[in-house]
Amino acid sequence: MDIIVLRPTATKEDLKRLVKKIEGHGLTVNISKGTERTIIGVIGDTSKISEEEEDAIRVMRGVEDVMRILKPYKLASREFKAADTIIKVRGKAIGGKKIQVIAGPCAVESKAMIINIAEKIKDAGASFLRGGAFKPRTSPYSFQGLGEEGLKYLSEAREKTGLPVVSELMDPREIEVILKYSDIVQIGARNMQNFKLLLEVGTCNKPVLLKRGLSATIKEWLMAAEYIMSKGNQNVILCERGIRTFETATRNTLDLSAVPILKQLTHLPVIVDPSHGVGKWDLVAPMSRAAIAAGADGLMIEVHTNPEEAMSDGEQSLKPSAFKKLMEELKPIAVAVGREI
């Protein structure tokens, strides 16, 4: 017993009585109220509910149906919610008909730089501004980001352009400062299975952009999303950013087949990060076009005014002129798949 569907005539008292019974078994609930039906997702080890107890719940007043979800991820599954989840951020919808493009530098380097890039990507048609203030780097000697100062610069860029801000959280101790300045909290690939961190962002009131781990299966990725959702935060955006394979021609292997697979398995919005997926600026445009054709709800693209001198990931960053050209190229592809950009 993982999903309980209530009748349209179910009262608040019916719901309250049902929740109390479920919680009496040491389980918790997630209540999703639709226009016609209220669905209760039962969270925890539901195997402890016997068939007899399940039948008793089935005949309670207000209950229409009781179902088992076979997949280990419950709240993220299509079985729990058939309709696509649409996440609204400052008036912009991720997961709807419009394809949203998140763009900006890998790392915030200065106030003038981030404001300049924000203005250029907005002019090109981007919807969100990305920028790392706390940077996870392979080498401890590489640039690690400007911290809160960088977040302040992102906030100033938002004030000037109106672009909502996406920035990465690496440490639970930094969550308050990230929430203060960011509109979307990013969990990077290296932290996809940092379960303490996932549970922490599950309690926050900001959408979470969850990147796929370096070697994570789709199932493991969805289970990571389930950690976040199990704590009450249903606003999770999945981001395919390439996985580690034997291939060395590109930085990672961008798994675009994950997009249509996820569309079958989950109601959560799916975006693609071609910049990290390929690691080479001249491959970003063709993979961006392919991602839209595959059904992605959005893109995350690295843009820098001077990639040759970027402190992080310059080799995969588009210059503003190339980004603007790409945005024009994406429009007819979006129309061809029934979307807009």
**DSSP-assigned states of every residue in 120-184:** HHHHHT--EEE-BSS---SSTTS----THHHHHHHHHHHHHH---EEEE---GGGHHHHHHH-SE
* Residue labelled with tokens 């672009």: 163
Contacts of residue 90, Cβ cutoff 8 Å, sequence gap at least 6:
162, 164, 183
φ, ψ at 158 (rounded to 5°): -65, -40
Report the side by side order of strands in the sheet with 63-67: 28-33, 38-43, 3-6, 63-67
User: Exposed, middle or buried, 206 (CB in 10 Å: 0-12/13-18/19+)?
Assistant: middle
* Residue labelled with tokens 């004030």: 159
Which pair of structure tokens corresponds to residue 149?
């100062």
DSSP letters for 1-66? --EEEEPTT--HHHHHHHHHHHHTTT-EEEEEE-SS-EEEEEES-GGGS-HHHHHHHHTSTTEEEE
- Topology, domain 3-67: Alpha-Beta Plaits (3.30.70)
pLDDT of the residue at 48? 73
Work out the angle at residue 323's Cα, subtended by the Cα atoms of residues 243 and 269, and round it to the nearest 5 degrees.
50
Asked whether 99 and 298 are in contact (CB, 8 A), the reply is: yes
The CA distance from 317 to 300, in Å, is 11
Q: Domain 87-336 has what CATH class?
A: alpha beta
Ranges for all domains in the chain classified under CATH 3.30.70.1140: 3-67
Ranges for all domains in the chain classified under CATH 3.20.20.70: 87-336
Give the number of C-alpha atoms closer than 13 A to the C-alpha of residue 100, restricted to the C-beta side. 25
User: Exposed, middle or buried, 335 (CB in 10 Å: 0-12/13-18/19+)?
Assistant: exposed
pLDDT of the residue at 311? 86
Give pLDDT tens digits along the chain (341 positions).
588 999 999 999 999 999 998 888 888 888 888 777 888 888 888 877 888 888 888 999 999 999 887 788 989 999 888 899 999 999 999 999 999 999 999 999 999 999 999 999 999 999 999 999 986 666 776 666 788 999 999 999 999 999 999 999 999 999 999 999 999 999 999 999 999 999 999 999 999 999 999 999 999 999 999 999 999 999 999 999 999 999 999 999 999 999 999 999 999 999 999 999 999 999 999 999 999 999 999 999 999 999 998 888 899 999 999 999 999 999 999 999 999 99
pTM for the whole structure: 0.87
Please report, for residues 44, 95, 205, the alpha-carbon distance to residue 79 in angstroms, rounded to integers and kept in the order given: 17, 18, 24
Give the number of C-alpha atoms closer than 13 A to the C-alpha of residue 131, restricted to the C-beta side. 38
What amino acid is encoded at 266 in this protein?
Answer: T
The CA distance from 185 to 237, in Å, is 10
Asked whether 226 and 251 are in contact (CB, 8 A), the reply is: no
